[in-house]
Amino acid sequence: MPRTELIIFDCDGVLVDTETITARVLSSALAEHGIRTSPADCEDRHAGASLAQTKTGYEAQGHTLPDDFVITIRARILETLSRGVNPMPGVHDLLAQLTVPFCVASSGKPEKTRQSLRLAKLLDQFEPHIFSAFTVGFYKPEPHLFLHAAQTMGADPAHTLVIEDSPVGVQAGVAAGMTVVGYAHTLSRAETLRGLGAHHVVDDLGDVVQILSGS
């Protein structure tokens, strides 16, 4: 792989163990409006997507959701996450071994990302290099967020490595012309990320060090 100048981390599901919590809140909220889908289903279908994208998707299928649905769910998620967030396994060890600059680029609002990183004792390692789709105005699978992060950090996209666990995140990284590491917790997700063009697929963040050693 090309020499690595920058590593871009997704936040939820890569740095912090929040995807399961978010999916549980979303599943419960959808059920209140007659949409039955399990937390596991929500995580599989909507990981990495913005709540606005999720709402639009259900409305396109003929479901009716209130105008304040996104605001309400966002508040519920923040309140639930405030009770505690764990770092993903191996994150602290990986960061301690990195010798190249790194940052985080998330579809979440900046305050949610900072809250999650703070609770997982990761904020000091990323601040102020925290990028949000809300600031850029474009959401994954569009490449703009990753390209903005690379430009701000002074890195060539062709020499940037992205670590993503969601299908839309992998698509965004590929579209940005970056090397993409798919972080998959299940075999089915691994197959999905590989099929979307992830250059490497790992189930252990420690494997990223080996990938970088080949750069």
Q: What are the tens digits of pLDDT across the range 161-194? A: 999 999 999 999 999 999 999 999 888 889 999 9
pLDDT tens for 67-125 read 999 899 888 888 887 787 889 999 999 999 999 999 999 988 898 899 899 999 999 99
pLDDT tens for 131-143 read 999 899 999 999 9
What pTM was computed for the model? 0.80
- CATH for 19-81 is 1.10.150
In the prediction, which pLDDT does 101 show? Answer: 97
Domain spans of the chain, in order of start: 6-17+86-213, 19-81
Beta-carbon neighbour count of residue 90 at 10 Å? 14
Among residues 130, 124, 84, which one has the least CA distance to residue 110?
130
As a whole number, mean pLDDT of residues 24-32 equals 89
Question: Is the pLDDT reported for residue 44 higher than 80?
Answer: no
In the prediction, which pLDDT does 1 show? Answer: 64
Question: Is the pLDDT reported for residue 215 higher than 70?
Answer: no
Q: How many whole angstroms separate alpha carbon 81 and alpha carbon 76?
A: 9
Give kind and range of the element (H or E) at residue 200. Answer: strand 200-202
As a whole number, mean pLDDT of residues 23-49 equals 85
> What are the distances in angstroms from CA 148 to CA 43, 96, 106, 162, 174?
26, 25, 12, 13, 15
pLDDT tens for 142-152 read 999 999 999 99
Q: Which fold has domain 6-17+86-213?
A: Rossmann fold (3.40.50)
